[in-house]
A and B are shown apart, each in its own frame.
Chain A
Amino acid sequence: MLDMTNRPSGLANSPATIASVRDLTVHFPSKRGMVHAVDRVSFEIRDGETLGLVGETGCGKSVTGRSFLQLLPIPPGILAQGTVTFHPHARCGACAGTGCDACNSTGRRPAACPSCTGAGCAQCNGSGAETVELLRLPEDRIRRIRGDRIAMIFQDPGKALNPTLTIGDQLSEVFLQHRTEELLDAAGIGPEDRGLAARLLGRLASQRNGSIDNLLLSLPPLRGKRNLLLDALRNNVAAALAETQIANPYQIIDRYPHELSGGMRQRVMIAQALACNPDLLIADEPTTALDVTVQARILELIKDLQKRRQTSVLYISHDLSLVRRICDRVAVMYAGRVVEIGRTDRIFRNPSHPYTRGLLHAVPTAATKRGQLMAIKGTVPELVDPPPSCRFVGRCPHEKALCRSKNPELAQISDEHSVSCFIHDAAGAADAPSFDEKTQ
């Protein structure tokens, strides 16, 4: 059910979803055949929520996450079908970005559809909000969304930061790509200026500067303005770092990644991701590579920033307990498919897919007695040209012949809770599996 309370006025039918994935299917060719890495995955991310995407290594959750930024490895991968739509936000018209009730104090609200200016038309499915098809967006347009409207935090900050550039260099790039006009403004160059200085500084402020530009800009007449621009850039970077509670951000700016601790690096990544105040943040296992104590702090930070900015988050993780702590809703993926999706409390209270159940039993809690930790038997199936069947076949303790011959669809079993399993959706079949009945 869509939550309509935050519906911004002025738009005919503002969606409560910021992005939705429909039938996303990604294949990888291998020597033995086509690997169905992501298989008709569908879900949506609601405005302002944190959606957890959980599953074990190789279940396709990272590929799914990357599809939002067109970072799928294509080639060799093949995008077989599916769409990822996104509703970008723009500065709130009512308060000019300072934050008001209309925009829930975030200063931003869904951008109006360019073809109907918010009235609702075929283009925007009548929602009146700008709708972008991310997977098929041309390079120059996806580029403007990346890092600005949708940002990503990577699993290992040690690998995701370029080892040979300083923190400042790397963070600056976000501003240079997306905040060129503001930087030029700080240097006293208006959008109408066309002089040599404006051109040179314009190139500098958008990373199109060459060595001759640099030389000219280092000479006296242009130097002052250049320094103004660089100062503004530096301040922006420091401010972004400060947001993540890094002490002494101005010192960190000149450091190299390897000089920082893992936690600090991830803070830098987060600062980089949130620098442009994105509408959607893809966090791909952001704490996996960190120490446990650091993990908790980073998690708190993400949670906190998300609360403050009302950013929507897709939180990808294999760690159920983490997901439980941070997410509003959870989608469980198994072998390239979403097998269960729903509100966090429901899923954890009432796991309805045998796989989710297995996972939850595999998580030790304080109540787990020694020797009672359960492992799911068997191994993840090979996804090479799989037959139409439930993917959990072979590991499922409740499987029936039906499970091996037909593909269960995701179906709602209760409010805010959908599962793809014949236990809940036997469609009248005679040999429907049941939790009460163990096959082996």
Chain B
Amino acid sequence: MVDLPSPSRAAAPVVRDSAFRVRMRRVRDLTAQILSNPATVIGSVIILAMFAMAIFAPWLTAPNTPDPYQMPRDWAATRMPPGTPGYLLGTTNEGGDVLYGVIWGARMSLQLSLVVVGSVLVIGCIIGSLAGFIGGKLDEILMRIVDVFLSIPELIFALAIAAVLGPSFGNIMFALAMVMWVKYARIMRARVIQIKNSEYIDAARIIGDSKLNIYLRDILPNSFTPVMVQATLDMGNVVLIAATLSFIGLGEAGIAEWGVLVSEGQAGIASGRWWASTFPGLMIFLWGLAFNLVGDGLRDALDPRTESSR
């Protein structure tokens, strides 16, 4: 322990009126702290690039008609190596343009991770915070359900669900959401209970705030930190798990999704056709890496115990 001088300790006491300002300042500090970590910056840059690629996909490559999420297949130009005119990154076994897959795959991955993480965030937070806040029987029942869900390994569970539903991109999203919400419910519940028992909630209670008010104004806004870190990490993880499911054979045939492309392209690696799965594989790796880097940075920044920025 170093007794470093810290002027902020003597800052004006936090009062309710300035909650917004305090929060804004916290966000600002956090951003500054995150940006001071080169790994996090690299991660953020990759994420921005991926998002840009996803958003501007229709302008980067002409969308396939009628379905832009299908690989555009030129059956007369299968297995072209990278650098072939018109096919910068080569073509797949089916004559699909690998570059197209890489770009539109980013769009699919963005869609996948936003939909899955977004929905589990909402479901998990609602269930977890209610269980934690209300407690009692509801908590007991919900947590037993969560326990059961958590005792099935994540990938295996998702695999089973996706397998039962049949290979499609939507089913993979659904399976992932089914599996992942419990984690959020549990994290959220723990956090809510922790906050519920903190002094300032006691204070709010003594002041006579209504339960709903306490829940909405004091507990919820202050409980998101751990789930947000988890969500950031999971933005990467879902793409990884989805790719694994696709690899095992649950992907939708012919779509421009990285996992499917790796799965379909891996066969060619042995024959020297490394490009069809290398590029999409690299994208999966980068995507996961970026969110891991940022998630780690975020965790370090938010968790006062590991002040790794110093």
| A contacts, CB < 8 Å to B | 28, 31, 35, 37, 57-63, 73, 76-77, 155, 335-336, 379-380, 382-383
> Cβ of B3 and Cβ of A35 under 8 Å apart?
no
> Cβ of A37 and Cβ of B5 under 8 Å apart?
yes
Q: Is the interface of A mostly helix, strand, loop or mixed?
A: loop
**Complex interface residues of chain B between 221 and 247 (CB less than 8 A to chain A):** none
Interface size in chain B (residues, C-beta < 8 A): 10
Q: Mark B48-86, 1 if CB is under 8 A from A, else 0.
A: 000000000000000000000000000000000000000
Residue among A31, A73, A383 making CB contact with B2, cutoff 8 Å: A73
Residue among B3, B7, B36, B310 making CB contact with A382, cutoff 8 Å: B7
Is B4 among interface residues, defined by CB-CB distance under 8 A? yes
By a CB distance below 8 angstroms, the chain B residues around A382 are 5, 7
> Cβ of A63 and Cβ of B2 under 8 Å apart?
yes
> Cβ of A379 and Cβ of B2 under 8 Å apart?
no
Using A31-B36, A379-B10, A380-B10 as known contacts, say yes or no to A77 and B2 having CB atoms under 8 A apart: yes
> Cβ of A62 and Cβ of B7 under 8 Å apart?
no
> Cβ of A58 and Cβ of B6 under 8 Å apart?
yes
Is B1 among interface residues, defined by CB-CB distance under 8 A? yes
Using A76-B310, A380-B10 as known contacts, say yes or no to A58 and B3 having CB atoms under 8 A apart: yes
CB distance from B31 to the nearest CB of A (A): 13
> Cβ of B36 and Cβ of A63 under 8 Å apart?
no
A31 to B29, CA, bound (A): 12
**Complex interface residues of chain B between 1 and 43 (CB less than 8 A to chain A):** 1-7, 10, 36
Using A31-B36, A76-B310 as known contacts, say yes or no to A60 and B10 having CB atoms under 8 A apart: no
A336 to B4, CA, bound (A): 10
A62 to B7, CA, bound (A): 18
Q: Which residue of A lies closest to B310 (CB)?
A: A76
A262 to B136, CA, bound (A): 35
What are 26 A-B contacts with C-beta separation under 8 Å? A28-B2, A35-B4, A35-B5, A37-B2, A37-B5, A57-B3, A58-B5, A58-B6, A59-B3, A59-B5, A60-B3, A61-B3, A62-B1, A62-B2, A63-B2, A76-B310, A155-B1, A335-B5, A336-B5, A379-B7, A380-B5, A380-B7, A380-B10, A382-B5, A382-B7, A383-B5
By a CB distance below 8 angstroms, the chain B residues around A58 are 3-6
Pick from A28, A31, A58, A62 the residue with the most CB of B within 10 Å.
A58
Q: Which residue of B lies closest to A316 (CB)?
A: B3
A335 to B5, CA, bound (A): 8
By a CB distance below 8 angstroms, the chain A residues around B4 are 28, 35, 37, 58
By a CB distance below 8 angstroms, the chain B residues around A380 are 5, 7, 10
A379 to B5, CA, bound (A): 11
CB distance from A252 to the nearest CB of B (A): 26
Q: Which residue of A lies closest to B36 (CB)?
A: A31
Across chains A and B, which 3 residue pairs bring their CB atoms closest together, nearest first? A58-B5, A379-B10, A62-B3
By a CB distance below 8 angstroms, the chain B residues around A31 are 36
By a CB distance below 8 angstroms, the chain B residues around A77 are 2
A35 to B1, CA, bound (A): 16
A336 to B2, CA, bound (A): 13
A31 to B36, CA, bound (A): 9
A421 to B36, CA, bound (A): 40
CB distance from A404 to the nearest CB of B (A): 19
A383 to B3, CA, bound (A): 12
CB distance from B206 to the nearest CB of A (A): 26
CB distance from B109 to the nearest CB of A (A): 35
CB distance from A358 to the nearest CB of B (A): 16
Q: Which residue of A lies closest to B7 (CB)?
A: A382
CB distance from B3 to the nearest CB of A (A): 5
A198 to B198, CA, bound (A): 58
A59 to B5, CA, bound (A): 7
By a CB distance below 8 angstroms, the chain A residues around B5 are 35, 37, 58-59, 335-336, 380, 382-383
By a CB distance below 8 angstroms, the chain B residues around A73 are 2
A257 to B6, CA, bound (A): 31
